[in-house]
């Protein structure tokens, strides 16, 4: 198994890499298309906004590389959003490998946006990525934009309204929460991804 972290400038790269090391996996950080294509598992981390995130991928020549991958691919936080068709954030065209368009979370009385902190996960579909997830499990979120619930939703959560906490379409999967900061639940889901 050879896991790569796509070096697209995400500030959570170090913490994702450390979480994988705790699971016994050393992940290579690279923006080299050949190294990414030859990996057994690819992780696209990211923190920040959609437009700069896609710009970094374009500048690195990675958009078509990522779209063409056939091995398991996991987007984390912004990385998950970049897997979708597009984002309202800056009216950004994204990779388009997962259906859906990312939307700003609505402001509601008593609810803070960005959504920050621990929130409950609810499995929406049976999938190898979510094997072992139990009712009442929680994960750590930091985001202002979210993917609406749809046929591609594997796990939902709620902050005012329901949103996709994890998605899957073929070999492409994503987690809106930070598995690297989500204690045992995050470790379980990362381990599930590595077992695919």
Position 10 scores a pLDDT of 64
Residue of 41, 115, 159, 178 with catalytic role = 178
Where along the chain do its domains lie? 3-195
Q: Which residues contact 63 (CB under 8 A, 6 or more apart)?
A: 54, 57, 95
**Helix (H) or strand (E) run with residue 20 in it:** helix 13-22
Position 11 scores a pLDDT of 64
Report the largest interatomic distance among the alpha carbons of the chain, rounded to a whole angstrom: 49
Residue of 94, 115, 159, 180 with catalytic role = 180
Residue of 41, 77, 89, 143 with catalytic role = 77
180 in active site: yes
Position 102 scores a pLDDT of 98
pTM of the model: 0.96
Q: Are strands 73-76 and 172-175 parallel, antiparallel or unpaired?
A: parallel
| Residue 175 · residue 78 · CB < 8 Å | no
Architecture in CATH for domain 3-195: 3-Layer(aba) Sandwich (3.40)
77 in active site: yes
- Averaged pLDDT in 10-residue chunks for the chain of 196 residues: 88 86 96 97 92 94 98 97 97 97 91 95 94 96 96 96 97 97 97 98
Orientation angle between helical segments 183-195 and 13-22, nearest 10 degrees = 80
94 in active site: no
């Amino acid at each position: 198994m050879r896991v790569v972290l796509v070096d697209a400038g995400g500030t959570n790269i170090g913490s994702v890499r450390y979480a994988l090391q705790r699971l016994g996996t050393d992940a290579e950080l690279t923006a080299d298309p050949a190294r990414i294509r030859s990996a057994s598992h690819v992780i696209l981390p990211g923190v920040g906004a959609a437009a700069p995130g896609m710009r970094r991928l374009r500048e690195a020549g990675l958009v078509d590389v990522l779209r063409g991958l056939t091995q398991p691919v996991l987007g984390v936080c912004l990385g998950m959003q970049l897997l979708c068709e597009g984002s309202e954030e800056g009216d950004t065209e994204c990779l388009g490998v997962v259906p859906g368009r990312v939307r700003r979370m609505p402001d509601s009385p008593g609810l803070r946006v960005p959504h920050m902190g621990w929130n409950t996960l609810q499995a929406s579909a049976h999938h190898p990525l979510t094997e072992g997830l139990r009712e009442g499990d929680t994960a750590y979120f930091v985001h202002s934009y979210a993917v609406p619930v749809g046929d591609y939703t594997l796990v939902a959560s709620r902050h005012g309204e329901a949103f996709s906490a994890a998605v899957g379409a073929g070999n492409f999967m994503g987690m809106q929460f930070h598995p690297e900061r989500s204690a045992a639940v995050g470790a379980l889901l990362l381990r599930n991804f590595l077992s695919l």
